[in-house]
Amino acid sequence: MDIFSGLLSGFQNLFHLNVLFYCFVGVFVGTLIGVLPGIGPIGTMAILFPATFGLPPASAIIMLSGIYYGAMYGGSTTSILVNIPGEAASVVTCLDGYQMARQGRAGPALGISALGSFIGGTFSVIALMFLVFPLAEFAVKFGPAEYFSLICLSMTVLTYLARGSFIKAVLMALLGLILGSVGMDPLTGKPRFSFGSVSLLDGVGLVPVAMGLFGISEVLMNLEAQQSLSIFKTKIKNLFPNLQDWKRSIGPISRGSVLGFLVGILPGGGAVMSTFLSYTLEKRLSKNPSAFGQGAIEGVAGPETANNAGAGGAFVPLLALGIPSSPIMGILLGALMVHGVNAGPLLIKQHPEIFWGVIASMYVGNIMLVLLNLPLIGIWVKVLKIPKRILMPLILLCCLIGAYATNNNAVDVIIMIIFGIVGYFLRKHEYELAPIILALVLGPLLETNFRNALIIGDGRLTIFLEKPISAVLLSISALLFLSTGFSNYRKTKKRIAEEVGDVD
Amino acid sequence: MKKHPIYAMVFWLTLGIFVSAYSYFKLGLGKLHNPGPGLMPFFLGLLFSIISFYLLINSLFKRDRKEEILKEEQGQINFRNVILVLAALFFYGLFLETLGFLIVTLITMTILFWTMGLTRWRPLGVASCLTVLVTYFLFTYLGVRFPAGILRAIGMY
């Protein structure tokens, strides 16, 4: 099936009323949680994950994907009007977006962010469509050794790009891999770390862990903060930016689209990192860098475009290789698995309705999002006024019901609460949570490919270096580790020198 | 010196050693040409222990000003709400199947709303009852089957 007939079939599937409805539900919920500070797209996808069990696989993935890229749109509203990011990918938008609102330009800020998001999102879908095919064809040649090395590289990049300590991120990735080994051994069926519990034989569920780490712990952190939202009181007018605004924004939007998409493909890159890079790039290229942070529209247009383009880029490794590049993509992989669909290079051939359905839904979803975010901006502003004392208990109840509904088992609720407490303490001690989820999803794949490669190689560990692709991927991983080690060594040396100086 | 990062590292170290020991003795490592179910967890546990040990040593000898700031911040945190919320959540998980969805959700939501600051009885009761009814009908419509608990035992469900 060529690209155009595939896309046409995707649109035909999408325009069945119920599929379109799930696409709308996804982008609507995505915008809602993007607007509301306190719960991010990962937690929401995990909460709604059990509700998708009864849906056809294509509708389930379309809805969950909609939540992800919808959240990228909604996140900017809170950043601009309240100066609190609705989700992590909108942190940078606070810098200039809020300043624009203070100067009475909330309308153009919201407008350029929605339109930039639309352009970035659409660009990334087109690029995704053309990139997935060659990559999937190339990946058909991958054997267990190549897959093992690719997963290793994914995990390494994710930990390398972690915001906090690299070594702590590695520790969390290992914790996720250990959790992933709970349950029946994938090759021999022997129970591992289940300690006689029947519930643990299927392994530690992705849904309770993700909801605990990202839903419950987020609410617990919010309970501590007790911050109240003060919405900037201004009349939102002139949502469509004027000619001058467009002239200033077109460059950042174009660059944000390309940069966001490329960064989105990287494991661990995703939407968040693309916003920071876009902001830095625009500031460097600007003739007037001092205007950044004072309400420069370029500081809103670039990052907001980049986060949507990044969201699209993150689908590339999942759809072409079956390797999720972020915890969000991990949840989508989990959803595919629940529906008995094997993600990977053969996905396009075996389940074209899912692949093309998702692509077509992203086009339509982006249009829905512009309509939701521009004319209906007033509704989202009102949503922001929902008091926390109502919102937080409702989020907690959704988590509780979601965890229970996964297997109709109260043990999952307890597991979720335990991971909520674990997540709460990990956040307090500045550990990254994302590597745990990604490693939990990738752990069984990593192990199966590792052991299969050893069996094929008759026990030779050198098999991972004999295959050229595998050797290249492992070398990149090793280089990343070495560079971080070297940088840590230099920092420690400097610190010791300073301490010795202090003593002297 | 801050103690709880050290406790955390000791916990991680113990966990790593346990995973390695369990994999080695209970699961078996197998041979390289036919790896056993314990091989991967063994090495994961080993790496985990090494990194935890490194972090433990680091936190024992590191003068960390940031931690002191964190301690000051923690001094202002009211943990009462966190503990109350966790107690309500555990209550939900432990009694959901015995008491049933309707009763356990009503009690849990009342505690949660109250903890978050909804202290006047009438709004508290209305919010809790409304939440129970809306979520019950919504999720039942979505195909979720909730446990009836004691309501079935007394013939009300």
The pLDDT tens digits of the residues spanning A400-426 come to: 888 888 778 888 899 999 999 999 989
B82 in reach of chain A (CB within 8 A): yes
Sorting pLDDT into bands at 50, 70 and 90, what band is A139? confident
Please return the burial class of A290, using the count of CB atoms within 10 Å of its CB with bins 0-12, 13-18 and 19+: exposed
- Percent of chain B that is helix, strand, coil (3-state, to 5): 75, 5, 20
Q: Where are the beta strands (DSSP E) in A39-187?
A: 183-184
Over range A158-181, report the average pLDDT: 85
Of the residues B9, B92, B131, the best mutation for testing chain A's interface (the one with the most A CB atoms within 10 Å of its CB) is B92
A392 in reach of chain B (CB within 8 A): yes
Question: Which H or E element spans position B34?
Answer: strand B34-35
Listed by number, the residues of chain A in 119-148 with a beta carbon closer than 8 Å to a beta carbon of chain B are none
Which residues in chain B are closer than 8 Å to A484, comparing Cβ atoms?
Answer: none
Record the tokens describing residue A493, joined without a space: 């040396």
ipTM: 0.87
Query: d(Cα B127, Cα B122) in Å, to the nearest integer?
Result: 9
Query: d(Cα A475, Cα A478) in Å, to the nearest integer?
Result: 5
Q: Mean pLDDT in chain A?
A: 83
B125 in reach of chain A (CB within 8 A): no
Top-confidence residue, A345 or B38 = B38
Determine the residue of chain B that is closest to A405 in CA distance: B144
A384 with A106: CB under 8 angstroms?
Answer: no
Picking from B51, B127, B144, the nearest residue to A167 by CB comes out as B51
Residue A57 pLDDT exceeds 60: yes
Name the least confident of A33-47, A52-66, B2-16: A33-47
Please report, to the nearest 10 degrees, the dihedral formed by the alpha carbons of residues A116, A118, A124, A130 taken in order. -130
Contacts of A253 (CB under 8 A, 6+ apart): A116, A119, A120, A301, A302, A305
Task: Please answer yes or no on whether B112 and A396 come within 8 Å at the CB atom.
Answer: yes
Top-confidence residue, B71 or A436 = A436
A74 with A35: CB under 8 angstroms?
Answer: yes
Contacts of A15 (CB under 8 A, 6+ apart): none
Record the tokens describing residue A113, joined without a space: 């962010």
Query: d(Cα A81, Cα A229) in Å, to the nearest integer?
Result: 10
Residue B1 pLDDT exceeds 70: no
Question: How many helical (H) and strand (E) elements, i.e. helices and strands, does chain A have?
Answer: 23, 2
Task: Please answer yes or no on whether A192 and B41 come within 8 Å at the CB atom.
Answer: yes
Listed by number, the residues of chain A in 54-73 with a beta carbon closer than 8 Å to a beta carbon of chain B are 54
Picking from B4, B32, B45, the nearest residue to A459 by CB comes out as B32
* 3 state SS of A481: helix
Contacts of B134 (CB under 8 A, 6+ apart): none
Contacts of A35 (CB under 8 A, 6+ apart): A74, A75, A77, A78, A86, A380, A383, A384
**Which spans in A161-192 are helix H?**
166-180
Of the residues A182, A391, A404, A414, the best mutation for testing chain B's interface (the one with the most B CB atoms within 10 Å of its CB) is A404
Over range A424-450, report the average pLDDT: 87
Over range B52-60, report the average pLDDT: 87
A310 with A71: CB under 8 angstroms?
Answer: no
Determine the residue of chain A that is closest to B110 in CA distance: A393
Which residues in chain A are closer than 8 Å to B55, comparing Cβ atoms?
Answer: 167-168, 171
Residue A487 pLDDT exceeds 50: yes
